[in-house]
Each structure stands twice: as structure tokens, then as C-alpha cells.
Amino acid sequence: MSLNPPAGHPKKPDAPRRVRHGIKFRRKNGLADLPWTAQAFVEVIQEKASLGAQVLGMEYALSGQLASFSVDEGLVEAQVQGRAFKPYTVRISLQHLTPEKWSEVVQLMAKEAMFAAKLLVGEMPVDIEEVFQECAVQLLPHTWKDAKAECDCGEKIPCKHIVAVTYLLAERIEVDPLVIFALRGLPGTKLLERLQEARNVHSAGVSQSHQSAQLPSQKAKLPPLESCLNEFWRPGKKLSDFQALPAQEHIPHAVLRRLGASPLGGKFPLVGLLASVQDSLRAKVIELRQRIDEGAP
Amino acid sequence: MFVLHANWHGDQLHIWGESSSLFQKLSQAGAHEKIVAATDDSKSEVIANHPFACAQAELRELAARVGFAVAENATSSSMQLLLPFDHKNPAPSDRLAVAMDTDVDNGADLHLDTVQVPTLIIPVNEVQEKLLAFEIAGGLNHEHTGHEFQFWCAAARFGLELMEDQRVVPTVQQDRSGVVKAHWRPWLHDAAIAERAATLLAGMPPICRAVTDAHDGEGWLVLESFLNACVDSFLRQVMLAENYVEAIEDRDPTVDPHVAWLGGLLGNNIEVKNLAVGDVSLVRGVRQWLAILEDIGEGRPMHLLLQLDEPSSALFTKQEGEEDKHAWRLSFQLITTEEPPTILEAETIWAQASGRGGANQAAEKTAELLLGELARVSRLWPKFEDALEETSPTGLDLTTAEAYVFLRDIKPLLEESGVQCTVPDWWGASSTRIGAKLFIEGDGPSPEMLTNSMVAGRKGGFGLHSVVNYSWQIALGDQPLTMEAFEALARKGSPLVRINNRWVEMRKEDLEAGLKFLKQHPGGQMSLLEALRLAHGAGDDANGIPVVGMDAKGWVAEVFGPIDAIDRMPQLEQPKLFQGSLRPYQLSGLRWLAFLGRYGLGACLADDMGLGKTIQLIALLQIERQDSPEGERVGPTLLVAPMSVLGNWNRELTRFAPELTVHIHHGLDRPQGEKLKEVAEKSDVVITTYALVARDQEDLEKIAWRRVALDEAQHIKNPPTKQTAAIRAIQSDHRIALTGTPVENRLTELWSIMEFCTPGYLGTLADFKRRFAVPIERHRDRNRAEKLRNLVRPFVLRRLKTDLNVISDLPPLIESREHVPLTNEQITLYDQVVEEMLSKVDRAEGLRRRGLVLSALVKLKQICNHPLHFLRQTQLPDIATEDALKNIGESDDSLDTALAIPESRGDRSLSSRSGKSTRLIEMLEEVVAAGDRALIFTQYRQMGHLLVTMIRRELDTESLFLHGGTPQAKRDQFVDRFQDPQGTAPIFVLSLKAGGVGLNLTAANHVFHYDRWWNPAVENQATDRAFRIGQLRTVNVHKMISDGTLEERIDQMIQQKMELATQIISSGEAWLTELSTGQLREILSLRTTALEDV
């Protein structure tokens, strides 16, 4: 328990400077009834932080001393206004998983629909830690050592600022459990995308950029082979119908023009190149056709 | 002997074959013995080898024999197929069964089982070109080529067509390992394309999906995989050839997803490299992109409807030439998908959405939908963004230039994207394009005068070569333009102009072509033939400008005025001497023949079988005699027909025009040289065969023919034979071709016939192939087909039984007797049997005598049917077969087969041994070509088998065969198959006893009675299988009768209602047994009227 006044900063006031529109901890019942995911972070900080840091940290959190708070770049970054003129910068991070490990995790999650289903509605699946464990990694921090926290206040780490930020993080996790994935290096939305792709692969073998075309006759499928034994070797009558269908009028680059600009965000003039490929293609097919036609007896 | 097959497996085409010698060994070993043991008995799952698949080592050589080239270093492989099994072994394919002359029993109980076949691989990059080259070389019709090749060729052509039309998209896919691969894929999602693909799929022979692989018998997966692989491979070859990879060489794929993607598209490498581990953004991005194509508004309750209105005509009262400032209005509407649809104007939609009575939610949704649709179309044409700048856009004002862009360029794209467009109806109509109008004038006397003054051997006796004056004028639609007006238009340079109160499309290329054309064609003189060609659009390609009409003056107007419409031709009454009455459509056919004949213009009468082409020609012969001036004799007509119908012609001529003198130029004692000339000049008609024209060409050429007419004109085929050349060499004033095959679908046949009727009209064969046959048959070019139809329309008259004005003239049932001659082989056999019987009955009495007579009668009927029918039954040596065996013995492959193998599809070696079957096959060919269906009744099961074999072999057509031994379940199945509109067996052979009652076979509109029962009631009952409630078409009944035989004799007695008739009808042939030997001789021996074969 240490409520020592900070040494060496005589000019500092007794209370932290107020922050206008600061980010506040708003839970009605404090740290009670937090979801298990958020609880993990609180427990880790409580394990290490002094009681004073915990109390003051909560005070900071409640009074909105955080000028900013983000978990965007794979770590928590916050500006906490203390008694000094400038706010302190707090960073809390977890060890990121390697891309290979993430792939492993995603593949494993793809096997059970439950994971994608829960994540899609913004819930953390209860079995999530088991998946990570199976890949010999973990999602949530278990001990203080699992996390990395820093603050430029100069006090003993974890300081009250870090505590405050941790509480805010816990509150955020309760609202958006998927931020935890960001802390492990893969934002939740990206995880969901990859999960969906992996699930495509899982069910169909591959994940494709488009579905196979639906034929109008899909409703009236070909009869099973067993019932075609007497006409096994002959084309159906429709083959001559097909051959009698008149060719379509050519609309230059119809498909490409309907596609418009690529949404991929590349700099290379993709559509222009594709158009020229298609022109070469058309020319080559016509050339082939003429070559074959001329070979006609 | 072998049959070559192809299957798609593992993204490659595998070829394999069935061997007849192995099949024969297998049959000899006993069909129920399974001679292939599984290679490994310890496992139950081992798949047996196909017992008569060709050995791998032979495949290349065999493929080469049918003209399918396989590379020397082709990879060997194998695959497993699910095939129909008969007992313990695979059943032979239809082609093999025909080649082996195996009696076809399509009632066999088959089941599916798996076998392994050795194959050779055609790599995907060669598949399309190989298949198409094979098709062009005629390999598809080769009897050793499996029918599924037809499908693969069609699929290969479809793939090329999609690429030519640029309907391919780049795609990506990611697999389990996370590797991303790029592929080119045909875009098959659009409605019109999907419809085509579905039609193609429906034509897929089951064998094509018989490989046991991941596609699991799913036809669409097989077809899609084929198209995918062919398209991807072809594109990569194109890009490698043009070195497209260079374009991204110095780009960094790690920062630019486009470059990374292209890295997998532009060359042989398909992997998209340089993507971060687990990066799914490319797949998702491309998916998002391609989803734009898929989004054609399906599932929406309403679609966008754009309506383009031309500027109000009231604005044009001032000055022409200022229209560019006037606005074309493109208004926005939504149309509901329900039936009938409701159209909502944008104004209404906005008004309702901001309704003062409280905005309602549905109206708001509709407004959102409209905005969404507008946003969607603005991707296709940025002009739409102008509208989106307004709060409540209701439409766009377009300048004339923009309206043109919309019509020409944007509208088709919008329509593909599921947007409906309503535009003024003049758009796209041919009457609104620039063209040239032809003016011709004939000087002097009408060439009609020529026709009655005949000079033997006169060259170019046709009116077609008469000279006419001509000039050209530029026209819009059919309205001529003055040169000044035309040049003024050209100066204006606007793509849409208003002329005579009408908007017209003015393509720059048309204007230039028009000006150039006028310079090059100042006018002058040309032949009537050339004028007809030009007036019907023959010169369009060369001139770059369509011929939009013509005006004729002088005598030419008499020809040109009515030539495109029979009802403008002079009226005709039925010839006075015609014994019978012509149906209205026959009368108009006569009118047409007479009109063309008067000007020496050739005619091809191609009416459907059964509509009476014969009597139309007979009536023509009468009418020209009736109309010729007193004392002037009309020259003879040379009628060339196949042997099998000579008798029929003679009979019909006697019946309908007994006053005409007919000479049948046939037989060993036929007149020659001067004698022939004499006979011919005294005759009205000289009938002969195709074979004899070639033989007696020299004599026939010396006669001044009024006309040469060909029956079954499809006999003059290409490449020209000696017969064809001889027929063309014979000069006459007029030429007529009769044919029942749909000539418009067989273009080189059409050319041959037209070249006979109107020489030179369709140009040289090479020219014709290049301009019409290849584009129409291979590329299904609609415009060319239309042009050709226009071009031949004056000279080809084809009426179908289904034509409305024909239907109303036709009785529901038409009965005809097909009199056919016996072949020499039949005559010999017939005489033998008669002589043998007569010599025996003399010495026999009572029951034994009766037995002898009856058995001889059966033999005679069998001989009339087919020599083999008789020989097989009696175990007599079959001379023809023995000869064939001898020939085969001399060839290398003596194991091959017991019968002569026809070398090509046209071979008629089996049917040509019998007059009846020759004629039957000829007629069935027309039935099948016209898409009709036929029943064939015979009393004999053996004959039924023979017919089925013949039909398969010679017409390459599947038929069903129902006889007394067919179990009930199979009968029902046969009836269903025959009645199914999609069914592939258009011919149904039935034994009279088994099939004469109870069945409902209304899909048939032809009924053949191959041999006679004599009892009309029994025959009628059989006919009624087709002619009954539910039958909507005219049923043609053909009774086959061998000339000179007892068949003819008895038929006559029944027809003439002789006293004996009732007895004949009630007792069949039993009455004959009561006759004396002398009477028997008289009735049974061959009459000399029978035309002998030569």
C-alpha cells in the first residue's frame, strides 16, 4: 500500500488535471459480473498492481482521465491525464501470434460452425481458449507475465494509469469481445473473414471467388445414370437444338464493362490490361476458327 | 474393327476404344461367362478390366484411322467407367453393335457396373483444336467414332464461342493449404448463356458422365469442368504467345494486389504468390467484384425500366438540321416482376415517398430501390450520375449523339445487367438503314418467247441469261434519296438523322460504302441471273451496303413483280385433263412451277413428304400442253428418279394424266441412239434412273428436252459424281428438282440442287462454303442464314404439313401405296421358289399340296421383304454374305466381322438388296430429317430385327422394336420413350400381332405397312395406333407393295373389289391353296411389268 506523493515533481497539483470529454468507465456495478474474458485482464492487473494503484486507477477511470483510448494497432494505447501538464502514454499489449499460428487457429475454428456463428453475433465462444491451447498458444493473459504494459509516468509498473486503462479495456471487451483478437495480432473482422474463407475451404475443398453458374435446368436435372441405360451412348435431341440456336450478337467487352473498376485497391491498371487480353483472345479465336475452316474439305 | 470413345477426366480428354475382335471372342466364350477375372482375388474391391476395351498400344493407330490425330508421345493412362452391363459383361456401345451386326434388342435388361479401361490422354491445350479439326474432317460421322464425340465437339465450339464473345473472367480460389490460385473462367451466369449451356447439357450422352470421379455422374460438373479447363488453357496460350507477363515484370506484387493476381493469370503459373500468410483479402475482393456481374436484380420485387423517347416531332416543323439541340428523354421507371407487371413512373415513386399523408414505408422502400438501381447503372454509363445529382431524379435529357451512344452501346449492356429498355421501334429495323436500290429494265421481247422454240443442244436455254439494263440508287429503307440529299446527310455527320419525318440510323461506314458504291456502279447491262442475285442480296458483302429493294420495268417486271409471292403470280385453274382434284396448296405449287417455267427459271419443290410433289409436277406437264398454241408440240420432260420409285411414277402418271405418253427408259432392251430420240420426241415424259443418265448421257444429250426434272434430287450430291455431271450436262429449257428433305438445313446439298436448277446463282461451291455454309453451319450466323434464305426464296418452295394454310387443306389421314421393284437377287430367288413349288404341287394332293402352297407363299412374302429375311429363315447360303466374307478373308483383319462393313454413313449395302427396304430407308431418311416419327409394322419378328439393324446402320438412327416376346414392362417403357418429345428414337418397329392393338402412339405421323396382311381391318387397327384421339397432325400411311409379285396382284384384287376380295380378306392366303396349278402359275409368277434392276 503506497500513497506516496510523487517525488521530484513539486509543481504538480494534488489531483489530476481534469480532462474535457474524457473517456469514462461507465459500468454501474464496477468490476462485478464482468464476462470471463474481461475478467482475465482485470485479474492479471490485480495480481500485480498495488492496492493504491488499483484504487486510484479506478478513480481515474471513473472520472474520465483518459484523453484517448484505442486498440487499433494490435495493442492498447491510451493518453491518461495525470497531475503533470502533459498526459502520459500508456501501452498495453499481448504477444502477437505468428501468421502461421493464426492459420492453425483459424483452420481449427473452421471445423465447428459454433465459432463462426458466435463470433458473427459478437459473442466470444466459451471453448475459444481450448482452440488456442490446442495450437500451443493462448488467447487471454493468465499471468502478469503474459502481458506487456508500459507508461511514461515513471512510477512503478503497473501504475495507476495502466490500471485505469486496463479497466477501460475490460469495459470495452464486455461490449466487443472480439478486440481481444486484435491484441493477439488479428482484428476481429479479419478473423471473421478468414474464418468464413476457411469454412468455405472446409466444406467445398476450396474457397472461390464466384459460385458455379446456376443453370435454368438445375431444377430439371439430368436423370440418374441408372435410368439412361437404353440411350447410353447417344446425344439427346437437345444437342441439335443447341446447334441450331443462333449465335449472340457480340457486345465488345460486355463482361468487363459491367464489372467496372476493381475494388481491390491496386495501382496497376488491371481493367485496361484485361481489356487488352480479351482483345487478343478474340483475335486469336477468330484466327483459329479461320484456320480450321480453311482446313475444311 | 473398333469404336473410338472419349471421356473427360481429370481436366484432360481421355480416348479409349472398344474392340470388335475382343468382343467376338467374348461372345464365343459365352455371354454369361465372365472372362475377366479380377486381377487380385484377395480384395473384393478390385475393379475388373473392360473385357473388350482396345489395348493401349493400339489406341493411337486406331484413332488415326478415323482421322483423330494423337501425338506420338501421348501419355497412357486409365480410368474407371460405369457402363451398362448385360449379364456379367459390358454391353457393346450402339456403334459397336451396328458394326458387329449384332441383332439389336433394345429391350435387354441392363444394369450399371464399373470397369477399368486403358486410355490415352489428349492434353487440355490441344483438346478444342483437335476436336474441331476432327469435326471438319468429317470424323464425327465415321462409323467407328462414338456418338459422344458430337457432344464434345459442340462443347469445344461453345467454349470458343464464349471466348470470342469475350465472356471470360479472371478468378481466384484458395485451397486448404492457403495457396491462392488464379484461373480464367467462362462467365456462364448470364441468362442467355446459361440457357445455351443448359440446352447443351440436356444433349449430353450419358456415357460422357460415366467416369467414376469427383463429378460423380453429375453432367453439369463434367461440362463445366470441360469448359473451365479449355478456356483457362486457351487464354494462357494466347497470353504466353503475346508475352503479357512483361506488363507486370517490374511491378512489386507485395504492394499491389492487382500485380499479385495477374502473376497467376498471365502465364503458365497459376499460383498467386507474394500474399501474406492467411491473407484472404484477394479472394474476398474478387468475389465482391464478380458479385457485380451476378447482381442482375434477381430477387428484387422490381426492376429498373428505362424508356427512351425521341424528341417531339412538333419541334421539327422549323428546319431540318437543327435537331441536335432537341432533347431525347430517357425516363426512369420501375417495373414489377409479377405477371402482368405494373410500371411505376419515377415521378409517382418520389411523390409517394414524400407523401404528405405521412410517408409510407413501402413507398420509401420503392424509392430506395430506384436510387439503388440508378447507382447500379451509373457504373455502366457515367451519364447516369448526372441524374443522381438531383434530389428526385425522374429521367435524363440526352443529346442526339448521346441517344445514339445509349442505343448502340449502352442498351445491350444494360439489358444484360437485368435492366429493361423501351426504345422507339424504328431502332434496329432494317428499313432504317442506308442501302442501295436496284432498277432494272428489260428491252425487247419477253424471254417467254424463247420457251416454245427449242433447238437441240442450245447452250444457255434459260431465261436466266437474258440481258437487262440496270442502275442503282441510294435509298433509305426503300425510299430513294437524291444524290444531293444523300450528300447533305453525309456532311451532317450525325449518327441519327431525321429524314421524311422518320429517324434513321446513319452509320458512317454505310455512308462511305454508299458513296463508293455509286461511283463503282454507274449502271449498265447484266444478266437476269445476276439481277436476281443482286436483288436478293447476293452482293451485300462485296459492296458493303445492303440491297434494300428493287424496281423493275418492261418484261422484267413480270418476273420480278411476283417472284417473291405466289399470290402475285398469274392465277391457274386445275388442268382440265387432270384425273382428280388438286388441293389448294397444290394448285399454288402448280402456279409457282408454271410461272418459273415460263421464264425458264429453275425450281426446287421441297414440300414435306406426303404433300404430293408428284402430282404437282404431273399437273404442270398437263397445263403447259393445255396452254400451248394449237399445233405446237411441247417437248418431252426427262424425269430422273431412283430405281425404287420408277414404278410409282409410271403408275401416278397413268392414274392422273392418262393422256400423257410415258416412256420408261430402263432395262436391257431400252432404245438407243436415234431410236431413243425418236421415242422421246413422241413422248411427253421419259422416265429413267440416275445410273442410266450417266450411262446413256450421249444419247440423251441429243434430245431437245423441254425440261429435266429430278425426283429425290438429294441424289445429286457433292463432290460431283459422274451421274451429277451427266445430269448437269443435259440441256433443257427448264429444270425442276423435287426433294422431301429439308434442304435449308443441309447447305451443300442445297447448293448442289440450286446449281442444277439455276446454274451459277449461288456462285461457286468454294465461294458458297465460305460465305454461307461455314458461317451458318459452324458459327450459326443468323444474318447469313437470313441472307441465304432471301437469296433462294424465289426458287425453293417448301411447305410443311404443319403450315397453317396446308393443314387446313389436308385430310387427317392420307393413304398411299408405295410400289417398289424387286432387285435382281429378289427376282432370282422369287422365280426359284415359284418354279420349285409348281413342280412339286403337281405331284402332291390334299393336305400336302396345301402345305406346299402355303409354305411357298410365306417364302415369297419373305423374299419380297428382303432376301436375308428369306435366306436366314431357310438356312440357304447367302450369296452376298459369302462374297463379303471372301473379301474380308483377303484383308488383314479376318476376325473382324461376318458381314460387309459399310465404309461410310451413306452406305446402303443392306437395304439395297431389297426394293422395299431401299424405298423404306429413303423415305425414313426424310422422316428423320424432318423431325417426324414413324411406326413400321411387319408380320415377321425376323424382319423386324433386320429393319432395326438396317435403320441403325444406314441412317445412324435409334429405333424401338416391340414384338410378341417383349415383356409388358418394356412395352410401357418403349411407348413412353417413343411418345417423349425429347426421346431419341424416332422410329418404332412393331410386329403386327404384338403392336396392332391397344397402344397409343400419337407421336407418329407416318405409318408404314412393310408387308401386307390383306385384311384392311387389321391394317387399319394398326394404323389407328397413330391415328387416334390426341393426334393433331395428318397421318401418312404408306403401304409397301413389291411390283409384279403376288403382293401387287392381291392388292389389286382388293382395290378393285373383285369377288375374291371378301374371301381374301377373311381367310388370308388360304384361298390360294384351292387353285389349280395353272391358276397358281398365273397368279404367282412374276409379271413382266416389274422393272428389272440394271
Global ipTM:
0.77
Low-confidence spans in chain B with pLDDT less than 70: 30-45, 101-108, 297-299, 313-326, 355-359, 430-433, 443-464, 477-478, 538-544, 718-719, 744-745, 873-906, 996, 1057-1069, 1088-1094
Chain A hits for B416, CB-CB cut-off 8 Å, are 251, 254, 258
Based on the domain organization, do A16 and A81 belong to the same domain? yes
Amino acid at B600: G
Please give the order of strands across the beta sheet that includes A66-70. A66-70, A76-80, A88-94, A147-151
Which domains, and CATH codes, for chain B?
2-214 (no CATH), 302-422 (no CATH), 430-560 (no CATH), 597-608+628-810 (3.40.50.10810), 817-1084 (3.40.50.300)
Phi, psi dihedral angles at B463 (to 5 degrees): -65, -20
A-contacting residues of B 277-296, CB under 8 Å?
277-278, 280-294
Please give the order of strands across the beta sheet that includes B1035-1042. B813-820, B1035-1042, B1006-1009, B934-938, B987-991, B959-962
Based on the domain organization, do A63 and A87 belong to the same domain? yes
Based on the domain organization, do A161 and A33 belong to the same domain? yes
Q: Show Cβ contacts of residue B1052 under 8 Å, excluding neighbours closer than 6 positions.
A: none
A-contacting residues of B 240-269, CB under 8 Å?
241-242, 244, 247-248, 251, 256-259, 261-262, 266
Helices B915-929 and B846-865: crossing angle in degrees, nearest 10, is 40
Chain B's closest residue to A225, CA to CA, is B206
- Which residue, chain included where needed, has cell 387446313? B808
Whether residue B586 contacts residue B612, with contact meaning beta carbons closer than 8 Å, is answered with: yes
Q: How far is CA B598 from the centre of its chain?
A: 33
Other beta carbons less than 10 A from residue B349's beta carbon? 24
Based on the domain organization, do A42 and A109 belong to the same domain? no
Beta strand B934-938 with B328-336: parallel, antiparallel or unpaired?
Answer: unpaired
| Contact assignment for A260 to B379 by CB distance below 8 Å | yes
Residue B217 distance to chain A (closest CA, Å): 7
Based on the domain organization, do A162 and A88 belong to the same domain? yes
Chain A's closest residue to B112, CA to CA, is A226
- Total count of domains within chain A: 2
Other beta carbons less than 10 A from residue A69's beta carbon? 19
Residue A255 distance to chain B (closest CA, Å): 6
Based on the domain organization, do A69 and A87 belong to the same domain? yes
Taking only the tens place, the pLDDT of each residue in A132-158 is 999 999 999 999 988 899 999 988 888
Task: Report how far apart, in Å, the C-alpha atoms of B947 and of each of B643, B1006, B1035 are.
Answer: 20, 16, 21
Whether residue B181 contacts residue B175, with contact meaning beta carbons closer than 8 Å, is answered with: yes
- CB contacts < 8 A, A to B, total 321
**Residue of A200, A232, A288 to mutate, interface with B, max B Cβ within 10 Å:** A232
Q: How far is CA B335 from the centre of its chain?
A: 40
- Which residue, chain included where needed, has cell 455454309? B773
What confidence score (pLDDT) does residue B456 get?
A: 30
d(CA B126, CA B148): 18
Asked if the structure places residue A127 within a domain, the reply is yes
Based on the domain organization, do A105 and A163 belong to the same domain? no
DSSP track, B912-938: GGSHHHHHHHHHHHHHHHTT--EEEEE
What confidence score (pLDDT) does residue B901 get?
A: 31
Whether residue B3 contacts residue B93, with contact meaning beta carbons closer than 8 Å, is answered with: yes
Residue B105 distance to chain A (closest CA, Å): 10
Based on the domain organization, do A71 and A60 belong to the same domain? yes
Domain containing A155 equals 11-97+140-175
CA-based nearest residue to B1034, from B1060, B1062, B1002, B1072: B1002
Based on the domain organization, do A68 and A84 belong to the same domain? yes
Asked if the structure places residue A282 within a domain, the reply is no
B-contacting residues of A 89-148, CB under 8 Å?
99-100, 102-103, 106-107
| Contact assignment for B165 to A254 by CB distance below 8 Å | yes
Beta strand B467-476 with B524-527: parallel, antiparallel or unpaired?
Answer: antiparallel
Residue A273 touches partner B, C-beta closer than 8 Å: yes
Based on the domain organization, do A85 and A192 belong to the same domain? no
| Contact assignment for A273 to B417 by CB distance below 8 Å | no
Chain B hits for A193, CB-CB cut-off 8 Å, are 280-281, 284
Q: Name the 3-class secondary structure at B1008.
A: strand
Please give the order of strands across the beta sheet that includes B12-19. B2-9, B12-19, B110-122, B76-86, B89-90
Chain B hits for A268, CB-CB cut-off 8 Å, are 248, 251, 256, 258-259, 262
| Contact assignment for B256 to A267 by CB distance below 8 Å | yes
Residue B504's DSSP bridge partners are B497
Asked if the structure places residue A126 within a domain, the reply is yes
Chain A hits for B259, CB-CB cut-off 8 Å, are 266, 268
Residue A219 touches partner B, C-beta closer than 8 Å: no
Residue B116's DSSP bridge partners are B49, B80
CA-based nearest residue to B907, from B956, B948, B954, B958: B954
d(CA B560, CA B255): 72
Asked if the structure places residue A192 within a domain, the reply is yes
In sequence order, what E strands does B143-296 have?
168-175, 180-186, 271-272
Side-chain-side CA neighbours of residue A69 (13 Å): 24
CA-based nearest residue to B219, from B205, B236, B233, B235: B205
d(CA B734, CA B736): 7
CA-based nearest residue to B1035, from B1067, B1058, B1001, B1065: B1001
Asked if the structure places residue A229 within a domain, the reply is no
| Contact assignment for B209 to A233 by CB distance below 8 Å | no
Residue A208 touches partner B, C-beta closer than 8 Å: yes
Task: Output the nine-digit C-alpha cell for B792.
Answer: 433462294
Beta strand B1006-1009 with B1035-1042: parallel, antiparallel or unpaired?
Answer: parallel
Task: Output the nine-digit C-alpha cell for B371.
Answer: 436510387
CB environment B837-867: b (16+ within 10 A), e (fewer): bbeebeeeeeeebbebbeebbbbbbbbbbbb
d(CA B996, CA B472): 65
d(CA B604, CA B746): 14
Chain B hits for A207, CB-CB cut-off 8 Å, are 173-175, 280, 283
Residue A227 touches partner B, C-beta closer than 8 Å: no
Residue B819's DSSP bridge partners are B1041
The whole-number mean pLDDT for each consecutive block of 10 residues of chain A, a chain of 297 residues, reads 51 79 88 91 91 90 92 88 91 91 90 87 89 92 91 90 94 92 90 86 79 65 84 87 80 89 88 93 92 70
In sequence order, what E strands does B458-558 have?
467-476, 479-480, 496-499, 502-505, 524-527, 547-554
A-contacting residues of B 78-97, CB under 8 Å?
82-84, 93-95
Asked if the structure places residue A45 within a domain, the reply is yes
Asked if the structure places residue A79 within a domain, the reply is yes
Asked if the structure places residue A285 within a domain, the reply is no
d(CA A240, CA B150): 10
Whether residue B297 contacts residue B373, with contact meaning beta carbons closer than 8 Å, is answered with: yes
What confidence score (pLDDT) does residue A66 get?
A: 92
Chain B hits for A116, CB-CB cut-off 8 Å, are none
CA-based nearest residue to B396, from B378, B417, B416: B378
Residue A242 touches partner B, C-beta closer than 8 Å: yes
Task: Report how far apart, in Å, the C-alpha atoms of B693 and of each of A150, B665, B672 are.
Answer: 111, 10, 12
B-contacting residues of A 188-207, CB under 8 Å?
193-194, 197, 201-202, 205-207
| Contact assignment for A210 to B290 by CB distance below 8 Å | yes
Mark which of A153, A175, A197 sits at the end of a domain: A175
Residue A255 touches partner B, C-beta closer than 8 Å: yes
What confidence score (pLDDT) does residue B544 get?
A: 66
Based on the domain organization, do A83 and A197 belong to the same domain? no
| Contact assignment for A254 to B412 by CB distance below 8 Å | yes
CB environment B581-595: b (16+ within 10 A), e (fewer): ebbebbbbbbbbbbb
Chain A hits for B780, CB-CB cut-off 8 Å, are 243-247
Based on the domain organization, do A65 and A200 belong to the same domain? no
Looking at the partner chain, which of B129, B169, B235 has a beta carbon nearest the beta carbon of A288? Answer: B129
Phi, psi dihedral angles at B253 (to 5 degrees): -70, -20
Taking only the tens place, the pLDDT of each residue in A190-220 is 888 888 888 888 877 778 887 777 776 554 5
